[in-house]
Amino acid sequence: MENLKTKLATIDWQSVSESMNEKGYAIIPKILSDEQCNELIKEYNNINLYRKTVVMERYRFGLGEYKYFDYPLPKIIQTLRETIYPKLSPIANLWMKVLNIDKIFPETFEELQSLCHQNNQLKPTPLILKYGKGGFNTLHQDLYGDVYFPMQTVLFLNEPDEDFTGGEFVLTQQTPRAQSKAIVLKLKKGEMLIFTTNFRPIKGTKGYYRVNMKHGVSEVMSGERHTLGVIFHEANS
């Protein structure tokens, strides 16, 4: 994990902050090695790692499957949560301030986890997702309870146009009294996307206003697509 910690430490977090404030997302290249990506995919069928499997079509979430990791989390996921969260909490708190929301997020991941537990959100939310040909994920938000952090990450485990085609990551932005804006992103193997969980502030002529965000995955045309989702707050079920 030292290599991963080094990569995370060398990220230009000021640039990440600027991108989050300007766009609601930030792309960070080559956080996971090919070996780490391949190992996560290899362990997909290891039933001892997961607490719950969701077949998307049963709930009209799309077409595909995802699995929630159980505690103890793999070290790679625990490292990502503990290291990235403190870099994002100041951004989140700035968002709360400019939107006049009476909420302050703690500085450390451990404190956020404790806050979740106090609100009966006890179950881990990191997950791995798998899509085959025809797979897709409908637009949604990952909230899981009353306590939710407004940013999350996804790491891409396959190489687009080699391992799969299609399957772009989609964000939608719903500006008040306007049509929705679609943002379509195509990320490479090992890259990490940080994005807003449910809303972000935008500066207008009369100050900041809130726009709602959702995310999903477009249809996979061929091959298999795997991603690792790292959500910071816990779930109540």
Provide the whole-model pTM: 0.97
pLDDT per position as a tens digit, 122-166: 999 999 999 999 999 999 999 999 999 999 999 999 999 999 999
**What CA–CA distance (Å, rounded) separates 195 from 24?**
6
The pLDDT of residue 177 is 80
pLDDT per position as a tens digit, 191-237: 999 999 999 999 999 899 999 999 999 999 999 999 999 999 999 99
**What CA–CA distance (Å, rounded) separates 225 from 23?**
25
pLDDT per position as a tens digit, 45-102: 999 999 999 999 999 999 999 999 999 999 999 999 999 999 999 999 999 999 999 9
**What CA–CA distance (Å, rounded) separates 121 from 183?**
31
Residue 2 has pLDDT above 80, yes or no: no
Distances in Å between the alpha carbon of 145 and those of 11, 14, 132, 233? 30, 30, 30, 9
The pLDDT of residue 23 is 96
Domain 2-230: homologous superfamily in CATH = q2cbj1_9rhob like domain (2.60.120.620)
Closest CA to 94 of 18, 153, 192, 25: 18
Residue 176 has pLDDT above 90, yes or no: no
Q: Are the CB atoms for 44 and 114 separated by under 8 Å?
A: no
100: alpha, beta or left? (left if phi > 0; alpha if psi -120 to 50)? left
**What CA–CA distance (Å, rounded) separates 227 from 130?**
7
The pLDDT of residue 175 is 82
**What CA–CA distance (Å, rounded) separates 48 from 237?**
19
Residue-range domain boundaries for the chain: 2-230
Average pLDDT of every residue of the chain: 97
